[in-house]
Copies of this chain bind each other. A is one copy, B any other.
Amino acid sequence: MTKAERSKRPRRRRGAAQDTGADPAARRPDYTRLRNPFPPMPAFSDDRIAAMHEAALRVLEEQGVRILLPEARALFRTAGARVDDDSQMVFIGREIVAEALATAPASIPLRAGARHRDLVMEPGAMIFQPGAGAPHATDLERGRRPATAADFRELVQLTQAFDVLHILPPLVEPQDVPVHLRHYFTMEAQLTLSDKLPFVFSRGRGQVLDSFEMLAGFRGLSDEAFRAESHCFTIINTNSPRQIDVPMAQGLIDFARAGQVAIVTPFTLMGAMAPITVAGAVTLSHAEALAAIALSQLANPGAPVAYGTFTSNVDMKSGAPAFGTPEHFKASLAAGQMARLIGLPWRCASGSAANVNDAQAAHETQFALWGCLLAGATVSLHVAGWLEGGLTVSYEKLITDLEPLQMVAELCAATPADEAEIALDALAEIGPGGHFFGASHTMERYRTAFYQPLVADWSNFGTWQERGAQGASERATTIWKRVLEEDARPTIDPDRAEGLAAFIARRSEEGGAQPLN
């Protein structure tokens, strides 16, 4: 390749999610809507999966679930479940579960802030979410700290900038915002800094209804239009083993009645809140998920609800949660089989228990990611940025975790192998001892042939040393800072923004909405 040719090469700006069209010949991969290209891998035989499903039904019927919210228990009672209000135990018959699985939709449209951000949550889709839910944030410049509102906004902006991150999570907990106002802050940040599907915590009816109102107002939707599709999502964690707390049950009911998708996610660590075996933990998780799905359908048959689990193991010496382990992987595979058995879209998660963005963090996160991918997860959470088992989100790790995600996304499009690709003519053109750098076949394709890495540095050792011997995390610092500087927030309708701000001001003055625990 001549120097002139090299200088003409389009440079893909690192960190910029979307080229502004500077070079029409530049490579423009589309990571916005992905379909899982991987063959599903089973953990267990079909008859074992059936046995686990049957065992879960027996757990619900014979052992029951403690449901703390009276309104929820009433729904189950009306449906024919045996309910004991003193012990708060609900014994759910399999016919209730079967009915719920029959009404829960297999395909859930997700309506975001722009059409190219819309998604469909259905078996076969592949949706990635970074973060999330961490009380701390960390980066190489400012160190580890209790997460702040500023961190939340920055992490939303970083999530917005990369197409392979499809939906917004509660990346970190902005601890400097009073709890009764926090949902206003987070919704405003999500809606004004991003056009991706926003998240709403199920922390009580007050916060949830506030959030729906903010969202419907900002999107300019009537009540009916709002309920017709999911414009946001929530995560419903059961309290393993076998308990659904008040705000979670409330969230299931409120989201179902508003037609907004709830992603059911028992958090079942083997040996701690769940049996120490993969089969036992997944059976327990499955039972709890079925109970939660049933509640959503009893509140509103046909309401969008996704199956899910967050099952991994603990270190039996210390009790510390572990992620990216073989047990985590196996549990993901088994959950995928359960999800395919019941026919619902489902959520899984990556993760790492590392304390710093090193080889352990990378290996654990990617290993867990492959568990999600081979399990056929519809939505994979915590795929970028997560450290310390979820206690901290790292800016640098969010960036370095993007590389395997983008590379996975590259595998989604079919690779051609037609005659032109097989290139018999090119093979004939270049003889023994030759090279393909100058072949016409190469020249026609080199601009767009290969994935351009975000973080990876492929320069030789000498060059790398001269440039400062930066590791991946250090380069990631440069990247996230540039992305924040570029500030690629979407264009926001100023009237809508004003309306939102006014709503928030009024509600704040009224005292906000305390979270329920």
Nearest CB in chain B: distance from A358 CB, A = 4
Nearest CB in chain B: distance from A113 CB, A = 29
**A270–B38 Cα gap in the complex (Å)?**
24
Q: Flag A21-53 by CB within 8 Å of B: 1 or 0 each.
A: 000000000000000011111011100110110
**A59–B59 Cα gap in the complex (Å)?**
63
Whether a CB of chain B sits under 8 angstroms from the CB of A196 is no
Do B353 and A362 have beta carbons less than 8 Å apart? Answer: no
Q: Flag A41-71 by CB within 8 Å of B: 1 or 0 each.
A: 1011100110110010011001101100000
**Which residues of B have CB within 8 Å of A354?**
456-457, 472
Q: Which of A454-497 contact B (CB under 8 A)?
A: 455-461, 464-465, 469, 471-473, 476
A370 and chain B: residue at smallest CB distance: B370
Do A280 and B441 have beta carbons less than 8 Å apart? Answer: yes
User: A313: which of B430, B447, B450 is its contact (CB, 8 Å)?
Assistant: B450
Whether a CB of chain B sits under 8 angstroms from the CB of A367 is yes
Do B449 and A270 have beta carbons less than 8 Å apart? Answer: yes
Whether a CB of chain B sits under 8 angstroms from the CB of A14 is no
**Which residues of B have CB within 8 Å of A18?**
none
Q: Which of A178-186, A229-237, A238-246 is found at the contact surface with chain B?
A: A238-246
Q: Which of A77-85, A95-103, A249-257, A413-421 is found at the contact surface with chain B?
A: A413-421
Do A330 and B400 have beta carbons less than 8 Å apart? Answer: no
Do A283 and B442 have beta carbons less than 8 Å apart? Answer: no
Do A403 and B277 have beta carbons less than 8 Å apart? Answer: no
Do A472 and B358 have beta carbons less than 8 Å apart? Answer: yes
Do A432 and B243 have beta carbons less than 8 Å apart? Answer: yes
Q: Which of A434-450 contact B (CB under 8 A)?
A: 434-437, 439, 441-442, 445-447, 449-450
Whether a CB of chain B sits under 8 angstroms from the CB of A422 is yes
- Assess A441 versus B52: contact at CB under 8 Å? Given A325-B407, A431-B241: no
- Assess A320 versus B458: contact at CB under 8 Å? Given A404-B363, A450-B327: yes
**A51–B38 Cα gap in the complex (Å)?**
23
Do B366 and A363 have beta carbons less than 8 Å apart? Answer: yes
- Assess A450 versus B242: contact at CB under 8 Å? Given A422-B55, A456-B364: no
Whether a CB of chain B sits under 8 angstroms from the CB of A273 is yes
Do A275 and B469 have beta carbons less than 8 Å apart? Answer: no
Nearest CB in chain B: distance from A377 CB, A = 16
Do A44 and B415 have beta carbons less than 8 Å apart? Answer: yes
User: A415: which of B43, B243, B458 is its contact (CB, 8 Å)?
Assistant: B43
Would you list the 7 A-B pairs with minimal beta carbon distance, nearest first?
A326-B410, A362-B362, A280-B423, A279-B417, A66-B432, A39-B39, A48-B417
23 A-B pairs within 8 Å (CB atoms) are namely A44-B415, A44-B417, A51-B422, A52-B417, A63-B427, A63-B431, A243-B432, A271-B446, A276-B436, A276-B445, A277-B421, A325-B407, A329-B411, A353-B457, A357-B359, A358-B471, A359-B359, A359-B361, A359-B397, A360-B471, A362-B362, A363-B404, A366-B366
Starting from the known contacts A48-B418, A330-B415, A359-B359, 8 additional A-B residue pairs (CB-CB under 8 Å) come to: A44-B415, A45-B417, A51-B422, A283-B422, A313-B449, A330-B411, A360-B456, A366-B367
